[in-house]
Amino acid sequence: MIPWQQLGNAQIPNNGGELKFSQRGDEFSIRLSGIRGELMNSRVYHSEKVLAELGCAHLPSQPHAHVLVGGLGMGYTLASALKSVSTTSHVTVAELIPEVVTWNQGPLGQCANYPLNDPRTKVHIGDVKELLVAGQTQFDAILLDVDNGPEGLTHKNNNWLYSEQGLQAIYNTLLPKGVLAVWSAGPDYLFSVRLKNIGFKVDTKVVRARPGKGSKHSIFLAKKN
């Protein structure tokens, strides 16, 4: 078996731990220190792809749509969002860790066919919260895959996004009929309640990590009236 080769590492801000980026053949892995198993693997991305497909389902024919992706990861959500919108649309991706952007600009980018090179892509290096509270831009869809779900695992500050305060900021940032789609490793009834309390119409989809098999992930779809 081909051994893993570590290609890089990165510190998560505010003592969030260390990410380790490795390659084995044409397979890539990102692990988080202190957590068993992988945080991301380049061969397991189906639910991340579906996150964008569902969140952008209302936008294929809409000109000049603007989508916000929270979390670059291995680029699969961004790539799927770009495929789901028109040629005149734009997708802003917010990534907290600069090294993750660098990895996607390098060898990791081949997995999702280098979505950062698409002229419709704009990169914001920093917390997605910065774009939500600034109030300078409104979005037709917001796709969040910044952590393990509605509870911060890699970065505790992510908890704000899933609080009623954060969800209210998201609601205000969405255009009318806009959609918030949130990836989660599993179900979270209380998160659905918080979304409804803000005024969203909520639906939840269960999606496999791989087509027809693998772990069951949850995608929360919240539509603004």
Q: pLDDT at residue 153 above 70?
A: no
Tell me which amino acid residue 13 is: P
Nearest alpha carbon to residue 93 among 52, 62, 149: 52
Residue 4: inside a domain: no
- CA separation for the pair 95, 125 (Å, rounded): 5
Percentage of the chain beyond pLDDT 70 is 97
Residue 135 pLDDT level (bands cut at 50, 70, 90): confident
Mean pLDDT value across residues 115-128: 97
Q: How many domains does the chain have?
A: 1
Residue 151: inside a domain: yes
pLDDT at position 171 = 97
* 225 contacts: CB under 8 Å, gap ≥ 6: 176, 177, 199, 201
pLDDT at position 33 = 87
pLDDT at position 172 = 96
**pTM listed for this prediction:** 0.94
Residue 8: inside a domain: no
Residue numbers of the domain that contains 215 = 44-223
Distances 6 to 29, 30, 86, 223 between C-alpha atoms, Å: 9, 10, 37, 41
The three state secondary structure string of 42-54 is CCECHHHHHHHHH
The three state secondary structure string of 156-187 is HHHHHHHCHHHHHHHHHHEEEEEEEEEEECCC
Q: What is the pLDDT of residues 19-60, one digit of tens each?
A: 999 999 999 999 998 887 798 999 999 999 999 999 999 999
Q: pLDDT at residue 86 above 70?
A: yes
Tell me which amino acid residue 97 is: I
Residue 25: inside a domain: no
Any idea what the CATH number is for the domain that residue 182 is in?
A: 3.40.50.150
Residue 35: inside a domain: no
pLDDT at position 151 = 65
Would you call 83 helix, strand, or coil by DSSP? helix
Would you call 215 helix, strand, or coil by DSSP? strand
Please provide the size of the chain in residues.
225
pLDDT at position 157 = 67
Residue 21: inside a domain: no
- CA separation for the pair 109, 96 (Å, rounded): 17
Percentage of the chain beyond pLDDT 90 is 83
Q: Mean of the per-residue pLDDT values for the chain?
A: 93
Residue 135: inside a domain: yes
Q: What is the pLDDT of residues 154-213, one digit of tens each?
A: 446 678 899 999 999 999 999 999 999 999 999 999 999 999 999 999 999 999 999 999
The dihedral built from the CA positions of residue 44, 96, 200 and 225, taken in this order, carries a sign that is negative
Residue 97: inside a domain: yes
Q: Please say whether the beta carbons of 52 and 180 come within 8 A.
A: no
- CA separation for the pair 180, 157 (Å, rounded): 19
- CA separation for the pair 16, 129 (Å, rounded): 17
Residue 60 per-residue DSSP state: T
